[in-house]
Amino acid sequence: MKRILAFALLGFSMQIVSGAAFAQSSCDHPKNDFDGLYCLNKIWIEADKNLNDVYKKLSLKLDANGKAALKKGQLDWISSRNSACSKSDPKEGFFVNLECATNRTIERTKFLEDRYRECMSAGCMNSKL
């Protein structure tokens, strides 16, 4: 059976996304929900890129055990994010709440940035990964 893949926002709310984020992405005044979705997607893509950059930077500072802990933590986080921010329905399709995914991605990036700062100042603490 051919599966239809549809991306949608659950609880879509333009007011929650900061004005600065919209201004930065040339999305000050989306005309409709599809324009808003496009703008939120641009913000999520940038957040995901930042997360990947910080992950790689941190990984370079870790020993083998730290890298294994970081990878396990990241896979667990991805599973948690996906569970919280998406759902699949055989009849309705696949739904992603981009606001949820973006917020969780930004939170994870901050967490990894904190671990990187620790590595640079006090040494890497694998137990915190």
DSSP codes joined into one string, the chain: -PPP-----SS--TTTS-HHHHHHTT-SS-SSHHHHHHHHHHHHHHHHHHHHHHHHHHHTT--HHHHHHHHHHHHHHHHHHHHHHEEEETTTEEEE-HHHHHHHHHHHHHHHHHHHHHHHHT---GGG-
This prediction has a pTM of 0.76
pLDDT at 28: 86
Structural domain harbouring 67: 19-128
The reply to whether 11 falls in a domain is no
The reply to whether 2 falls in a domain is no
User: Mean pLDDT in the chain?
Assistant: 84
The reply to whether 8 falls in a domain is no
Q: Which residues pair with 94 in a beta bridge?
A: 88
pLDDT at 1: 35
Per-residue pLDDT, averaged over 24-49, amounts to 87
pLDDT over 50 (residue 27) = yes
The reply to whether 7 falls in a domain is no
pLDDT at 30: 87
pLDDT at 5: 34
55 vs 9, 63, 111, CA distance in Å?
Answer: 27, 14, 10
Cα distance between residue 79 and residue 76, in whole Å: 5
Total domains in the fold of the chain: 1
The reply to whether 12 falls in a domain is no
Q: What are phi and psi of 38, to 5 degrees?
A: -60, -45
What's the CATH code of the domain at 37?
1.20.1270
The reply to whether 32 falls in a domain is yes
In tens, the pLDDT along 62-118 reads: 999 999 999 999 999 999 999 999 999 999 999 999 999 999 999 999 999 999 999
The reply to whether 14 falls in a domain is no
The reply to whether 47 falls in a domain is yes
